Structure 1
Amino acid sequence: MLEELELHDLGPIRAARLVPAAGMTAITGETGAGKSMLLSALKLISGAGADAGRVRPGSACAWAQGVFAVAGDHAAVALAEDAGSPVEDGELFLSRRVPAARAGSKSGRSRAVLGGKTVPRSVLEHVARELVTIHGQADQLRIASPVRQREFLDDYAGNGDLKRQYAADWSAYMAVEDKLTRLTTQQAQMRQQADYLRDSIAQIDRVDPHDGELEELKERRDRIENAAQVSEAVVHALALLDSSSVPSMDNGSDAPDATGCVAGAIGALEAAHVPGVFDGALAALADVQSALSEVSFALSGKIDDELGAGDLDMLNGRIHELNELCLRWGPELSDVIRWRDQAAFDVEDLDASPEKLADLEEQRDRRYAAALKTAKRLSRSRAKAAAALSATVTGELGELAMPGASLDIAVSERRGSAPLDGTGADDVEFLFTPFPSSPKLPMGKSASGGELSRLMLALELASAETAVGRAGHAASSGDAARPVPPMTFIFDEIDAGVGGKAAVELGRRLARLARSAQVIVVTHLAQVASWADAQYVVTKTTASGDDSHAAGRRSDDSVTLPATETTVQAVDGDDRVREIARMLSGTESSTSRKHARELLASSTLEHAA
């Protein structure tokens, strides 16, 4: 629901602020006063194209902002959050800034803001689409689109669950159909790709690499290549520690090794035969002797390990094989292994064998049958809703100064080899007959702007009342606790060519729609405005003398502009009576004011009932 609309320097309006009623709000005023600027402001915050020519002369920019109350589960809330503008306190702010055109240069780009954050204009448009529906003569053409007509019918029918089920069925069918088409139309290329993958997998499997193996082999090769130096160092160390551990070695010297020296020291102390004197020394020497034996044993094993590490040629051959794999499918051996594992899955997708094709064809047929079954359910629901909507709208048109006019909604199932698409099996078309002898023509091509506005009112009224019925409750226009209206409808020029009793019926139907949605109507008919819960008057004033000169001068004091200004004022009580009287007769005589009071008193749904 639109809680507040504020604008600055748009057209002749310097500043204005509207606080629309939750139900119906009427905007009135003399022709040419600037009522269209309010509609322009609403279009701006709804993401429409910006026109620098609409900026008030002498101003740097025009600015408009709408504040909307939204429930937590409203579709606009999710869109805003996806755009990085979370909703706070149940309010969503949409604003737009349009810079003025400057002499000799193009105007700058407009700026769209959602929830205080700059966003692309398209984001503002998508969010506003869930909040505002504008019905002006230019905006009516949107419903002429077959796509929008089908969407409107589905919304009226409450086909949300059916559409989601069909979308899932259709997506599952298309996934298999696309795969089958790919296999059958690109068999030769895919067979070549599959053969390449199979050969590559076989080459890798023949080598059978293991993650980390290449690094281990290179380290082992380094040790083998340095084996001579290692052996020389070990043998020399053993000769000094315990030459007996290298029996094949002849060091050519009678010098004792470390083990022999320790053993000699132990023997010398024991030969003294002095009990208890050398016990500590003997124990320490025994520990040294044991440690020397362990070191000698470990070094002896090292010689055996290095000398028996394997054939260096075989080791280099294995490293070469692994390096070849890395060059083709690496760069690392782990990449090669991952590539092989992924290729195994890809081969399955590229399998174009007769058995694989037959299996896919069976899957496709089964999923198509499921989609077709859901599409037929959707068709039946659309056909039933089309009949009900046609009858309801045709009945409303007779009360809206369009006697003999009718709306027919054709739901035709497609025939041929491909009856289904992403929307189902139907073509939907709204056909309008403006008078009995007229042929049925596509909506948008057979109705004038005023007729199309009234036709849209009848459609929106039928849709809104059906939605309320599905919710299982009827909102009361005087109930202060009623829920936030889910949509704001804007009607402009809906009363073109209407008067008398038809005008009263038009106002009454707008008031009915306002029971379940917020309605803002720009009108010049008192019989329509009198039904509103709130009324705003747009007035054009012209200053004179010095005031005119001051009001019209630019900020640089270089050019004096016309001092025409438009104001927007809420009216209530006697002020509203006077405005209704003016709309009725063009004067504010006692007779017209009396008539205005009577009209206001009678323009309530309770009174009409």
Structure 2
Amino acid sequence: MLEELDIRNLGPIREATITPAAGMTAITGETGAGKSMLLSALNLISGGPADAGRVSAGASEAWAQGIFAVSDHSTAATIAREAGVEPEDGELFLSRTVRAAGRSRAVLGGKSLPKSVLVAVAGELITIHGQAEQLKIASPSRQRDFLDRAAGDDAELDAYREAWRALAAMDERLARLRSQESSARQRADYLRESVDHINEVDPHPGEDEELKAKRDRIENAAEIAEGVSRALASLDSSQLEYDSSSENAGASDLLLQAAQALRGIRASGDFAELADRLESLNAELQDVVFALSGHLDEDFGDADLDTLNARIHELGELTRRWGPTLADVVAWRDKAAFEIEDLDASPEKLAELEAEREQLYRAAVAAADALSAVRADSAARLAARVTAELESLAMAGASLEIRVTPRATSGTTGGGKREAIEERALDQNGGDDIAFLFTPYEGSPQLPMGKSASGGELSRLMLALELSAADMHAGADGEREKKRESTSGSFGDAATSDMTFIFDEVDAGVGGKTAAELGRRLARLARTSQVIVVTHLAQVASWADAQFVVTKIPPDADDDAVGVVTTVNEVRDDARVHEVARMLSGSESEASLDHARELLASSTL
């Protein structure tokens, strides 16, 4: 939801701040006052073209910023985090600067980013309906996405995509096997020889390090024996008489003598405690003596250094080729064994995989049929709702048809001894072709949506679509639980609590009772999503929760260098009554003011 829109030096708007209502906001003003600049600002922060010609005269750059409230787990917040921007207190700041020299800069949350990131984030937050959106509306993929969101078929779509991914992976594997060339066969031979060689050596992770340590001990056996003997002689003479001519007692004997001397003292003091500590030290020393004695008895058996070195060299060859460690060598061997299976395109292996592929295809078709059934049912209900809405929007005789057509077959599959068969053309979105066909008036040919409506008709058609989709998701048919967070959005967008809809030209060519119905429907949509409408009709503006007036101020007679300046101000209470009166009759007479008050009072759902 858009919380604030700030504009600086954009066209005739030198400075403006708009804080739209959470529901419906109307932007009004006389023709030519500069209402289009507000749409230009929204287009800018949505990643639209940066036109240096829109920079105010005398200014070096134009700037626009939108502050949006987003839910923590929304798609917009996820995209922002992936770009390294964390929403701050549940808000995202999107801004765009356009220099008079022609360059622009996109900023998200204070961080300069590629414009594409701004486009992705804004695409989840803003939907602009107007004549410029016709090309987007004509896109079959956006029409399909809209129908899916209106249908609420997430479960069916997820189930299908899971089945399709498994099928696609198998098709890729089979294609790789069938298209093997000599290089693939050579690799298979290399892998086999390598695996056989590793198996012949039969390495064990860490074996080379153990052997190197053993070799080190063998090569230094004499030095180890001498050092250990010296240590033992110094610690405990009863274990080893290193020097038979020496009459010195070992450290253990000396500790025991010291302890006995202390225990012989009859006077009071801590002598007994100290004696205990000396005996404890002697016990620890005896553990060291035992460990050292083990090294004297170490037997390397018939270990031969030449044999040991040969094994270490053999293992080193493996780590040099497939290492750096023996654990890596073993892992490479195991992985190579699986790759050999894929490279061995034997008839038996292909037949096994083709049978598995057939099962995956049947599962994907079943999931596609389930998805198609939900789409077809929802398409009929959505089209009927839209057609009924169009009747109340001054488009009598207009109708919408949504066709869900099974896609033509993709040709034949099969290979080897299998008989070629025709298959459904499936992709990640199912096996259907979706087409929105619009008839603008009775007797008119039915044409693809986006190619058969004027700007005003198109905006009203989109309003009817958004309303109908919102009603379907709110459970108006009694078929689905109310899920406001997944209410359908425009083509490519979901109308969640984060979504802001912008309607331009929606009131073109309408008036009177139809204008009031148009306002009522905009207000209905604003109950589930934020709506901003640019309008010149009082019957539409009166339904808004907030109204902003765009006013053109002529240049000062004493200083015409600045030129025309446009201001944007919110009108409330009496000021709003006067603005609605102006919109009704162009004057602010008592009669028009009374009419304005009456209109505002009656414009409630």
Q: 1:177 to 1:473 in 2, by over 3 A?
A: closer
Give how far 1:151 is off.
Answer: 0.5
Q: Which residue in 2 is equivalent to 1:108?
A: 103
Alignment-derived partner of residue 482 in structure 2:
472
1:565–1:213 Cα change, 3 Å: same
1:431-474 Cα shifts (integer Å, max 9, x gaps): 01112222111111111111111111110111122222245399
**Is 1:44–2:44 an aligned residue pair?**
yes
Q: 1:357 aligns with which of 347, 350, 354?
A: 350
The amino acid of 1:155's aligned partner reads R
Contact 2:106–2:118 (8 Å) recurs in 1: no
**Which residue does 1:88 correspond to in 2?**
88
1:544 to 537, 549, 556: 556
Quick one: distance in 1 between partners of 2:341 and 2:376? 44
User: What is the alpha-carbon distance in structure 2 between the residues aligned to residue 262 and residue 587 of structure 1?
Assistant: 127
Secondary structure, aligned partner of 1:512 = helix
- Unaligned ranges ≥5, structure 2: 230-241, 248-292, 410-422, 486-494
Deviation at 1:124, TM superposition (A): 2.1
1:443 — aligned with what?
A: 449
Say which of 496, 500, 505 aligns to 1:493: 505
Shift in Å at residue 490 of structure 1? 0.4
Aligned to 2:432: 426
Letter in 2 for 1:472: K
- Residue 131 in 1 paired to residue 125 in 2? yes
SS in 2 for 1:56: coil
Secondary structure at 2:424's aligned position in 1? Answer: coil
1:566 matched to 2:578? no
User: How far off is 1:512 after superposition?
Assistant: 1.6
Q: Deviations over 1:567-607 (max 9, x none)?
A: 001112222222222222222233333332333233222xx
- Counterpart residue type for residue 446 of structure 1: S
Q: Which amino acid aligns with 1:490?
A: I
Distance 1:437 1:197, change over 3 A: same
Report the secondary structure of 1:110's partner residue: strand
| Closer, same or farther: CA 74–221 of 1 in aligned 2, 3 Å | closer
The whole-number CA distance in structure 1 between the counterparts of 2:189 and 2:377 is 55
Q: How many residues align?
A: 522
Per-residue deviation, residues 245-285 of structure 1 (Å, max 9, x unmatched): xxxxxxxxxxxx976x789xxxxxxxxxxxxxxxxxxxxxx
Which secondary structure state, in structure 2, belongs to the residue aligned with residue 516 of structure 1?
coil
1:192 to 183, 186, 199: 186
* Equivalence for 2:590: 590
More divergent stretch after superposition (30-39 vs 331-340) = 331-340
The reply to whether residue 505 of structure 1 matches residue 499 of structure 2 is no
Q: What does residue range 146-545 of structure 1 map to in structure 2 within 5 Å?
A: 146-186=140-180, 189-211=183-205, 213-214=207-208, 309-310=303-304, 312=306, 317-318=310-311, 321-330=314-323, 335-416=328-409, 417-469=423-475, 470-472=480-482, 485-545=497-557
The alignment partner of 2:131 has SS state of coil
Q: Indicate if the aligned counterparts of 1:96 and 1:112 stay in contact, CA closer than 8 A.
A: yes
Task: Give secondary structure in 2 for the equivalent of 1:66.
Answer: strand
Output the amino acid matched with 1:130.
E
| Alignment deviations for residues 525-584 of structure 1 (CA, whole Å, 9 cap, x no partner) | 2221122121111011122233434xx2xxxxxxxxxx2100001112222222222222
Shift of 1:40: 1.2
Q: Secondary structure at the match of 1:400?
A: coil
RMSD: 3.4
Equivalent position amino acid for 1:89 in 2? D
Task: Give the superposition deviation at 1:493.
Answer: 1.0
C-alpha change, 1:81 and 1:471, in structure 2 (3 Å) is farther
Alpha-carbon distance change, 206 to 452 in structure 1, aligned in 2, over 3 angstroms: same
Q: Which amino acid aligns with 2:557?
A: G
2:503 is paired with a residue whose SS is strand
Partner of residue 20, structure 2: 20
The percent of aligned pairs where both chains have the same amino acid is 60
* 1:599 counterpart = 2:593: no
Contact 1:4 1:68 (8 Å CA) reproduced: yes
Going from structure 1 to structure 2, the CA distance change for 1:354 and 1:392 (only over 3 Å counts) comes to: same
Q: Distance in 1 between matches of 2:595 and 2:119?
A: 43
State the 1:176 CA deviation.
1.6
Alpha-carbon distance in 2 for matches of 1:422, 1:441: 27
Aligned-partner SS, 1:138: helix
Q: Deviation of residue 121 (structure 1)?
A: 2.2
Offset, 1:205 = 2.0
Kindly state the Cα deviation for residue 171 of structure 1 after the two structures are TM-superposed: 0.9
- Secondary structure class of the residue paired with 2:474: helix
For 2:385 and 2:499, the matched residues in 1 are separated by: 21
Q: Is the 8 A contact 2:205 2:325 kept in 1?
A: no
Which whole-Å CA distance do the structure 2 matches of 1:162 and 1:298 have between them? 71
Give per-residue Cα distances to partners, 1:131-185, cap 9 Å, x unaligned: 2111121023312100000111111111111111111111111112211221122
The answer to whether the Cα contact below 8 Å between 2:497 and 2:529 also exists between their aligned partners in 1 is yes
Local SS of the residue matching 1:446 = coil
Give the unaligned 5+ runs of structure 1: 102-106, 238-256, 264-296, 476-482, 553-562
**Are the structure 2 counterparts of residues 148 and 318 from structure 1 closer, same or farther at C-alpha, using a change threshold of 3 Å?**
same
Instruction: Select the structure of larger CA radius of gyration.
Output: 1
AA matched with 2:454: S
The alpha-carbon distance between structure 1 residues 192 and 21, as it changes in their structure 2 partners (threshold 3 A), is: same
Q: CA deviation at 1:49?
A: 2.7
Secondary structure at the aligned position of 1:545 is classed as: coil
For residues 201 and 501 of structure 1, do their structure 2 counterparts lie closer, same or farther at Cα, with a shift above 3 Å needed? same
Aligned in 2, Cα 1:331/1:25: closer, same or farther, shift over 3 Å? Answer: closer
Counterpart of 2:132, as a letter, is A
- After superposition, the Cα gap between the structure-2 partners of 1:136 and 1:185, relative to the gap in structure 1 and judged at 3 Å, is same
Secondary structure at the counterpart of residue 437 of structure 1: coil
Compared CA separation, residues 332 and 32, structure 1 to 2 (3 A): same
C-alpha contact (below 8 Å) 2:60/2:99 kept by paired residues: yes
CA contact (8 A) 2:198 2:318 kept: yes
Mean Cα displacement is larger for which, 503-512 or 64-73? 64-73
SS in 2 for 1:378: helix
TM-score normalised to structure 1 length: 0.78
Structure 2 contact 218–300 (Cα < 8 Å) conserved: no
In 1, Cα distance between equivalents of 2:497 and 2:208? 70
Q: How far apart, CA to CA, are the structure 2 residues paired with 1:193 and 1:363?
A: 26
Q: 1:453 to 1:200 in 2, by over 3 A?
A: same
Q: Distance in 2 between matches of 1:210 and 1:486?
A: 58
